[in-house]
Homo-oligomer: A and B are copies of this chain.
Amino acid sequence: MVLASDSRTNAGIDRVSTFRKMFTFERPGERFFTLLTAGNLSLTQGVISLIGEWLETDDPEKDLYAATSMFNAARIIGRALREVHKVDSGYLQQHDIDFSASFVLGGQVRGGKLRLFQIYDAGNFIEAMGDTIYFQIGEVKYGKPILDRVLRRETSLKDAAKCALISFDSTMRSNVSVGPPIDLMIYRRDTLNRAFTIRLEEDNPYLQELREGWGTALLNAFHTVGHDPGWVL
């Protein structure tokens, strides 16, 4: 499983900041969860804080370390989100601010499968299965075409990571609300440990290589494809 997140948040173009949007909760050898966040920062931080407070309570309906399955873990995220909604949504409404917070949750509980969920604003969620092998949250459209073209069930972890980075690069070029550093996590099924994580700053050599290389490769691709249609202009 490959998870990636940028770290730009903005509340208007003069309030741009860097915040991590990737959070890992783990008990090595027993369970491993990574959560990605998108939407209103005050809400997603609220959810993360609440989940943190619920840890070690041994309540399987609230404590990620007590959840008996990935499904239950996803319900805990949804429950935390609904708690935040209960407290904040009325006040946000008074200021015409949409309640917007969504999550990707990936992970594994010992004895269960590696599973991937997307949790919506309302706390409901869906799971990746069948042909759906990835989820995106936040500013998703610019970076979607490359994912659709490249990702398959048989794609290697390294290629999936490369594809995620190129997808982020496409988005960052077209939209200033997404920006580095990029947090990248690669988890290998059944290891039940944080596998590989790296924070790629703007000047990271691999990120720069992809960035420049992809621009050139795309232009070459553009010029090789298609015969002259013979249009008389």
A132-188 CB contacts (< 8 Å) to partner B: 141-146, 148-150, 157-159, 161-163, 166, 170-171, 173-174, 186, 188
- Give the complex CA separation of A171 and B144 in angstroms: 9
The main secondary structure of chain A at its interface with chain B is helix
Q: Determine how many copies of this chain the complex contains.
A: 2
Chain B residues near A227: list those with CB within 8 A: 206, 209
Total count of chain A residues near the partner, CB < 8 A: 47
- Give the complex CA separation of A163 and B222 in angstroms: 8
Query: Are B221 and A144 in contact, CB atoms less than 8 angstroms apart?
Result: no
Chain B residues near A173: list those with CB within 8 A: 145, 148-149
- Give the complex CA separation of A149 and B222 in angstroms: 10
A196-219 CB contacts (< 8 Å) to partner B: 196, 198, 206, 209-210, 213-219
- Give the complex CA separation of A145 and B219 in angstroms: 12
- Give the complex CA separation of A209 and B145 in angstroms: 18
- Given contacts A157-B233, A232-B196, A233-B186, are A146 and B225 in contact (CB under 8 A)? no
Does A93 have its Cβ within 8 Å of any Cβ on chain B?
Answer: no
A164 vs chain B, min Cβ distance (A): 12
Does A14 have its Cβ within 8 Å of any Cβ on chain B?
Answer: no
Does A220 have its Cβ within 8 Å of any Cβ on chain B?
Answer: yes
Chain B residues near A206: list those with CB within 8 A: 226-227, 229
Query: Are A218 and B142 in contact, CB atoms less than 8 angstroms apart?
Result: no
Chain B residues near A162: list those with CB within 8 A: 222, 225-226
Query: Are B170 and A145 in contact, CB atoms less than 8 angstroms apart?
Result: yes
Instruction: List 20 A-B pairs, Cβ < 8 Å.
Output: A141-B142, A145-B146, A145-B170, A145-B173, A146-B222, A149-B219, A159-B222, A161-B231, A166-B222, A186-B231, A186-B233, A206-B227, A209-B225, A209-B226, A210-B226, A213-B225, A213-B226, A214-B225, A217-B224, A218-B218
Residues of A within 8 A of B (CB): 141-146, 148-150, 157-159, 161-163, 166, 170-171, 173-174, 186, 188, 195-196, 198, 206, 209-210, 213-222, 224-229, 231-233
Q: Which 5 A-B pairs have the closest CB atoms?
A: A141-B141, A217-B221, A213-B225, A145-B170, A206-B229
